[in-house]
Structure 1
């Protein structure tokens, strides 16, 4: 328990103000740095646990224009048939932005390389075989980053959009860090307002 308190208290001393560097913020790198021949090359993260963050690092106007014009829906509870339309406001995007990088998705895993690969599915051209982008129904439960970006732009992330996406991470390996990963992920979500972590309560 003392280790957890130490990590949380150190985070509280590191405010996420614009222009400030911090964990998962000061090591933002373009995704393309780790992609070759449609494969993700991050051998140092294989079977390593931690928390990761996806960012939009491309042209901000390109992204906000797409956000403002997209039809982004989430499915309501299973017992309900209606779709919930999501409106991405300028204030929301501003609160998600650090150093001109917009926070898209935050997650945790015991195997960072494998989890990041599932978000991207680089070998799959079309992930929407069983559902439509405006249906509110996700084509799978593991590609949240790709699903969010493709709903906004209405095209495959592999058609040039991946050039505008970056990633950062902090390693917290082993089961002894399971609780640390849990709270660190939630801390970042509360601070960075990632656009594609949203969901409807069941």
Structure 2
């Protein structure tokens, strides 16, 4: 004989469902962030933001791979610059929403020594290049269906959370991270703070 559903059980189920929906809203395929409970920073309406003070930053991080034009990429060659790394794939709605922000940032801050690198975790060349053409993306993206490039960010990027955006400082260390949609003012503020730092800290 089935037991009746109590008001408390119904409430608990609704809370669990709401929590799951909130998690999904931050990205296309969100994953667990083991550091979330202890992370400083704040949660915006677009995604979870974490920053690290210079003496506490993980890294340096080096990402290597091949972009969709067939060129080798090694971020170790870019030490001294500020690097913004963004995970994405073409069918991901928040990835599409933030693409103009990332493209504008790459153009507007290039003279300040800011580089942007995409890591595509899903797409073959056709879909990825179509996305890049649609949004007039001026920076390279690594094809990473084998997950090796994202693995370079293990412990920093929740591996199933797409999009995630990471800001590396002049020394290649992780200065900031956005899990979910990168809102324009938030991303520009994070990047501006790192650009303003001394290259040697």
User: TM-score, length-normalised on structure 1?
Assistant: 0.25
Higher relative contact order (CA 8 A, sep 6+): 1
User: TM-score, length-normalised on structure 2?
Assistant: 0.25
Larger CA Rg, structure 1 vs 2: 2
